[in-house]
């Protein structure tokens, strides 16, 4: 992973959150998939109501409006920042501070697709994405959002099932918050990044052992809180 493809955010708990930014290629492919889905839905609606004269024409126009503007907005706002195309490509939209995309944020970034589409074929948005250090188009800049890669969490979830180990140092409030933040967000990190964070707590251990120990201590903390 290149350094300019990573966004590092320090959380209020003091944990460093690393996000893998999605460039224009996977975003364009996701858009193409969503466009194909919308065209299929639109064609189906037009086929079903096209024979109803003016009423059918009205339904077709309303459907076109909803598919163009609310298809991406509703999916991004209520499906973890992912349209079906983004989900297929393994990317998602979040706010620049790493928090889930809000409805207002999704609405703003999608309303500004008109500006990004200028003059044709989203040329301005493509150029802006290439220039921006965070691969943001105009809509992302206005909504303070970024598009990131979503990593497969199956391995991380499986690894969390194991023994518990009490910490070998007195846990202060800040330590507990840091451990809880790691547990909550660890699925967003790659395995090497998790090992790197674990070695901050256990520098004397190898990266795999440090991560294993940190997970064990975190499970101990969570079980003690139940």
Does residue 115 share a domain with residue 24?
A: yes
Name the residue range of residue 77's domain. Answer: 15-149
Does residue 26 share a domain with residue 136?
A: yes
Question: Is residue 6 one of the residues assigned to a domain?
Answer: no
The pLDDT, as a whole number, for residue 199 is: 82
The pLDDT, as a whole number, for residue 64 is: 94
Q: What are 7's strand-pairing partners?
A: 19
Does residue 140 share a domain with residue 48?
A: yes
User: Does the pLDDT at position 18 exceed 60?
Assistant: yes
Six token digits for residue 9: 């955010």
Question: Is residue 8 one of the residues assigned to a domain?
Answer: no
The pLDDT, as a whole number, for residue 129 is: 93
CA–CA separation, 137 vs 147, rounded Å?
A: 10
Does residue 183 share a domain with residue 113?
A: no
Does residue 79 share a domain with residue 23?
A: yes
Residues 6+ apart with CB under 8 A from 157: 187
CA–CA separation, 154 vs 143, rounded Å?
A: 31
Question: Is residue 182 one of the residues assigned to a domain?
Answer: yes
CA–CA separation, 133 vs 123, rounded Å?
A: 18
Does residue 70 share a domain with residue 98?
A: yes
Does residue 105 share a domain with residue 158?
A: no
Question: Is residue 5 one of the residues assigned to a domain?
Answer: no
205 vs 90, residue with greater confidence: 90
Does residue 166 share a domain with residue 91?
A: no
Q: Which of 149, 168, 197 represents a domain boundary (last residue)?
A: 149
In this structure, the strands spanning 91-95 and 145-149 are antiparallel
Question: Is residue 107 one of the residues assigned to a domain?
Answer: yes
User: Does the pLDDT at position 4 exceed 70?
Assistant: no
Does residue 143 share a domain with residue 171?
A: no
Question: Is residue 30 one of the residues assigned to a domain?
Answer: yes
The pLDDT, as a whole number, for residue 153 is: 46
Residues across the chain = 226
Percent share of the chain, pLDDT over 70: 88
Does residue 105 share a domain with residue 165?
A: no
pLDDT tens digits for 125-149?
999 999 998 999 999 999 999 999 9
Question: Is residue 1 one of the residues assigned to a domain?
Answer: no
Question: Is residue 23 one of the residues assigned to a domain?
Answer: yes
The pLDDT, as a whole number, for residue 12 is: 58
133 vs 187, residue with greater confidence: 133
pLDDT tens digits for 22-52?
999 999 999 999 999 999 999 999 999 988 8
Considering its fold, how many domains does the chain have in total? 2
The pLDDT, as a whole number, for residue 2 is: 47
Residue 111: CA count within 13 A, CB half-sphere: 8
Does residue 84 share a domain with residue 37?
A: yes
Averaged pLDDT score across all residues of the chain: 84
174 vs 80, residue with greater confidence: 80
Q: Which of 118, 149, 180 represents a domain boundary (last residue)?
A: 149
pLDDT tens digits for 144-167?
999 999 865 444 444 445 678 888
Question: Is the full-model pTM beyond 0.75?
Answer: no
């Amino acid at each position: 992973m290149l350094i300019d493809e990573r966004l590092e955010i320090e959380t209020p708990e003091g944990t460093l959150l690393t996000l893998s930014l999605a460039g224009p290629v996977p975003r364009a492919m996701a858009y193409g998939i969503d466009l194909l889905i919308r065209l299929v839905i639109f064609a189906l609606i037009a086929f079903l109501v096209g024979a109803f004269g003016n009423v059918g024409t009205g339904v077709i126009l309303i459907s076109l409006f909803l598919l163009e503007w609310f298809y991406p907005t509703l999916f991004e706002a209520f499906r973890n920042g992912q349209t079906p195309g983004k989900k297929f490509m393994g990317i998602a939209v979040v706010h620049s501070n790493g928090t889930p995309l809000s409805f207002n944020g999704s609405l703003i970034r999608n309303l500004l697709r008109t500006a990004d589409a200028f003059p044709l074929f989203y040329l301005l948005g493509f150029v802006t994405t290439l220039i921006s250090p965070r691969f943001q188009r105009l809509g992302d800049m206005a909504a303070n959002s970024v598009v990131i890669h979503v990593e497969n969490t199956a391995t991380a979830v499986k690894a969390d099932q194991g023994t518990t180990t009490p910490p070998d140092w007195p846990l202060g409030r800040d330590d507990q918050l840091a451990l809880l933040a790691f547990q909550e967000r660890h699925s967003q990190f790659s395995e090497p990044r998790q090992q790197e964070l674990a070695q901050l707590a256990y520098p004397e251990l190898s990266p795999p052992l440090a991560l294993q120990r940190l997970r064990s201590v975190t499970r101990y903390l969570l079980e003690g809180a139940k």
